[in-house]
Structure 1
Amino acid sequence: MANDGLDWEGLLKWSLAHSDGTKPSRNLSEEERKWFMEAMQAQTVDVVKRMKEITLVMKTPEDVLQAQGVTPENIEDMLDELQEHVESIDMANDLHSIGGLVPLLGYLKNSHDRIRSKAAEVVTTIVQNNPKSQQLVMEANGFEPLMANFASDPDVTVRTKALGAISSLIRGNKPGIAAFRLANGYAALKDALGSEDVRFQRKALNLIQYLLRENSSDHKLITELGFPRLMIHLASSDDPAVREASLRGLLELARDAKSGGSESTFPEADEEKLRQVLEGRIAGIGEMARDDLEAAREERQLVDSLWNACYNEPSSLRAKGLLVLPGEDASQPPPDVAGKLFEPAMRALAAASSSTDEKQQKPLLLGPANNGGNSGS
């Protein structure tokens, strides 16, 4: 967004001076009120204007853009800018009304993997904790290309970004969860767990845990599909976040089996492998330096909780004094397997964006039109 001449630094200082609590509040003068409202309105109008310009570019056929010298890198930069704008929930919802949502979803099928990946990131921002935009994306058939990219795109980054978008799209969205099941989403998740990419594994494990919490009836399906064996394997991953996510999922399954009166938490072969993995983690924890032990606090608690859920006894971490270290709060409860997944990303107001940011000074990618009507931002 080009510099519109507004004194944003002055506006910020003025706002802080009137809201920092160090001075008694007072009524604004009519002149101050008018200046403030005009400044904010001008910024909002500029954001909408810029989003319309970006929408125009997204609607333009790829061959036309190429003929005008627009590169895939230009499109990526444009999508970066759009993502900044839709961090505002109002702007996210307005994208559909100005005609930008459908062409954005079209970019999920772009021939360039980086554009497919970036488009999924923008969709994630739009739908995260936003029921209205979740519904709009579902109605615009946005779930299908996301699912296709997650399940079978040749680029693992595209698959990972698509999974992130799906996770945000179906969270708190029952039609979305139903669509995920019908699209054989669990099979795609199982495939993701077998990937060698730890970011892909982490996102898959986090979504599995969410689905297990939301649908206890799916626990049996998860077990029948062989997820426990994969999660047991990943519980000894070199990546701490993958280990913890695996342990959380296994603990969810173990507690559900226990509450349901099941004599066996997992199939017999998996039970033996799980014991070996947990014993290996206990041994590994015992060899950690103090700083590493402190960083692995949640893993220590997860290992002990899972051991107790499976074998009805505390793990040896307690006897070794490794479950609660000196100085740690012994009264802290075991980790909540519900976790704090998919925590809402902070959505910045579009009006707070600084007009001096280089990323907001991009020219309109199409360049001047024949009638001179589209020139810059």
Structure 2
Amino acid sequence: MAKDGPDWDGLLKWSLAHSDGTRPPRNLSEEDRKWFMEAMQAQSVDVVKRMKEITLVMQTPEQVLEAQGVTSADIEDMLDELQEHVESIDMANDLHSIGGLVPLLGYLKNSHAGIRAKAAEVITTIVQNNQRSQQLVMEANGFEPLLSNFTSDPDITVRTKALGAISSLIRHNKPGIAAFRLANGYAALRDALGSESVRFQRKALNLIHYLLHENSSDCNVVSELGFPRIMMHLASSDDSEVREAALRGLLEVAQDKTSGGSDGLGEEDEKLKQLLQERIKGISLMSPEDLGAAREERHLVDSLWNACYNEPSSLRGEGLLVLPGDDAHPPDVASKHFEPPLRAWAANQEANRAPGTEKKEAAPLLLGYSPQQPETPHVQSSSSGGEDAGQRSTPR
């Protein structure tokens, strides 16, 4: 029985046979070229067509889907696929034009918590650094169900995903920030800080820091709502990201105090001093490895002490603010694994060439994986921005 689809094993063997690095490249015959293009096109997906098909499913009433045997897990898988498609800025903006944005927002009210959470996750991807999609979601009244899920959904995952979507929706979006303020969003953030979910706390703290950084006059609001006391409590959290995020929020309030904008930390000042002294003591007892990991926290503690008391913290005197190697470049442990194949080939050719020989040879055409190419490890980088640092870097 013949297999459906292209012969990928044959394609790989063909590619390797014509790119093993032992012979110069040859021109493809018309027959080979035609076969190669047909094999590739057979795997291509019409993204717009697939998004329209997904839109039709989202527009279908829930009871009809259940009657057809479609489960909530099937819907979540479908939303996973949609999220991959809208990673493209163009596809994210096209979702509304093909009628998919409104039913997606409708899924925020679905009876299944998994679907509500996944819908918020897709919306987060759509609006990240994308002013056009932010505007479309606001115009489609998408802010209201997100806020409702954030403040009152019984499922903590749904609440966390909704907060993430709100954070992406209102970033660099003045109408969104205004809507958040008018909807008493700061009070909702205060409640989120009291959650037992560390991830929920992180997202709330990161959004608070962003809002205060964008508009320091909001420091008056957070002070009146009792945020400094809550953030001081969280600055002693066992989670390092929560501690750092809480310290960043306190620093914003303290810096506004020094600029004469508000009463800042007010009656909480003595408690803050005690907190900072405890953090300094904890830092002084850290191992060298833990000190390296706490670099951001060390600087935040010192900056907060300086902002409140107009003097450097004792971390400076103890030599714990800037450690040897803090500003050094990280060791190069990966470059040798990423030596370009053509560069390696050229080096081998140079080494084998007889002295005085000037003859140049053509480099091989590498269409596939070279058997001589070493396997490269997967390398990831981390960001100090916490949960919300992973925004799209391409402005929309």
Could you say which TM-score interval applies, normalised by the shorter chain? 0.7 to 0.9
Distance in 2 separating the partners of 1:256 and 1:91: 41
Residue 22 of structure 1 corresponds to none
Which segments of 5 or more consecutive residues in structure 2 lack a partner in the other structure?
16-29, 329-383
- 1:231 and 1:246 in contact (8 A); partners too: yes
1:219-230 to 2 correspondences below 5 Å: 219-230=219-230
- 1:210 and 1:338 in contact (8 A); partners too: no
Residue 264 of structure 2 corresponds to 265
Residue 344 of structure 1 corresponds to 391
Distance in 2 separating the partners of 1:38 and 1:133: 35
Shift in alpha-carbon separation, 1:32–1:134, aligned structure 2, 3 A: farther
Q: CA deviation at 1:345?
A: 3.3
- 1:137 and 1:143 in contact (8 A); partners too: yes
1:192 aligned partner, one-letter code? A
1:357-372 to 2 correspondences below 5 Å: none
Shift in alpha-carbon separation, 1:7–1:90, aligned structure 2, 3 A: farther
Residue 108 of structure 1 corresponds to 108
Residue 129 of structure 1 corresponds to 129
1:154-173 to 2 correspondences below 5 Å: 154-173=154-173
- 1:124 and 1:169 in contact (8 A); partners too: yes
Distance in 2 separating the partners of 1:43 and 1:100: 22
Q: Please give the per-residue CA displacement for 1:194-229, whole angstroms capped at 9, x wherever unaligned.
A: 111110010001101111111122111111111111
Q: Please give the per-residue CA displacement for 1:297-334, whole angstroms capped at 9, x wherever unaligned.
A: 0100100110111111111111222111123239xxxx
Structure 1 length as normaliser, TM-score?
Answer: 0.78
Shift in alpha-carbon separation, 1:103–1:285, aligned structure 2, 3 A: same
Shift in alpha-carbon separation, 1:267–1:10, aligned structure 2, 3 A: farther
- 1:168 and 1:342 in contact (8 A); partners too: no
Residue 43 of structure 1 corresponds to 44
Distance in 2 separating the partners of 1:256 and 1:63: 54
Residue 87 of structure 2 corresponds to 87
Distance in 2 separating the partners of 1:51 and 1:84: 11
Shift in alpha-carbon separation, 1:63–1:252, aligned structure 2, 3 A: same
Residue 210 of structure 1 corresponds to 210
- 1:193 and 1:205 in contact (8 A); partners too: yes
Distance in 1 separating the partners of 2:9 and 2:134: 33
Distance in 1 separating the partners of 2:8 and 2:137: 37
Q: CA deviation at 1:282?
A: 0.9
Q: CA deviation at 1:340?
A: 11
Shift in alpha-carbon separation, 1:37–1:244, aligned structure 2, 3 A: farther
Q: Please give the per-residue CA displacement for 1:93-114, whole angstroms capped at 9, x wherever unaligned.
A: 1111111111110000011111
Identity of aligned residues (%): 71
SS in 1 for 2:238: coil
2:288 aligned partner, one-letter code? R
Residue 71 of structure 1 corresponds to 71
- 1:248 and 1:302 in contact (8 A); partners too: yes
Distance in 2 separating the partners of 1:211 and 1:32: 56
Distance in 2 separating the partners of 1:8 and 1:82: 29
Distance in 1 separating the partners of 2:215 and 2:189: 16
Distance in 2 separating the partners of 1:244 and 1:177: 24
Residue 177 of structure 1 corresponds to 177
2:281 aligned partner, one-letter code? A
Distance in 2 separating the partners of 1:298 and 1:37: 53
- 1:193 and 1:201 in contact (8 A); partners too: yes
Shift in alpha-carbon separation, 1:38–1:329, aligned structure 2, 3 A: same
2:185 aligned partner, one-letter code? G
SS in 2 for 1:217: helix
SS in 2 for 1:322: coil
Distance in 2 separating the partners of 1:198 and 1:286: 25
Q: Count the aligned residue pairs.
A: 322
Match status 1:251 vs 2:298: no
Distance in 2 separating the partners of 1:4 and 1:102: 35
Q: CA deviation at 1:265?
A: 3.5
Shift in alpha-carbon separation, 1:73–1:325, aligned structure 2, 3 A: same
Q: CA deviation at 1:338?
A: 9.8
Structure 2 length as normaliser, TM-score?
Answer: 0.74
- 1:134 and 1:173 in contact (8 A); partners too: yes
Q: CA deviation at 1:272?
A: 1.3
Q: CA deviation at 1:43?
A: 3.4
Shift in alpha-carbon separation, 1:8–1:294, aligned structure 2, 3 A: farther
Residue 61 of structure 1 corresponds to 61
1:250 aligned partner, one-letter code? L
Radius of gyration: which is bigger? 2
Distance in 1 separating the partners of 2:54 and 2:154: 28
Residue 315 of structure 1 corresponds to 313
Shift in alpha-carbon separation, 1:89–1:309, aligned structure 2, 3 A: same
- 1:210 and 1:341 in contact (8 A); partners too: no
2:298 aligned partner, one-letter code? R
Shift in alpha-carbon separation, 1:212–1:99, aligned structure 2, 3 A: same
- 2:220 and 2:264 in contact (8 A); partners too: no
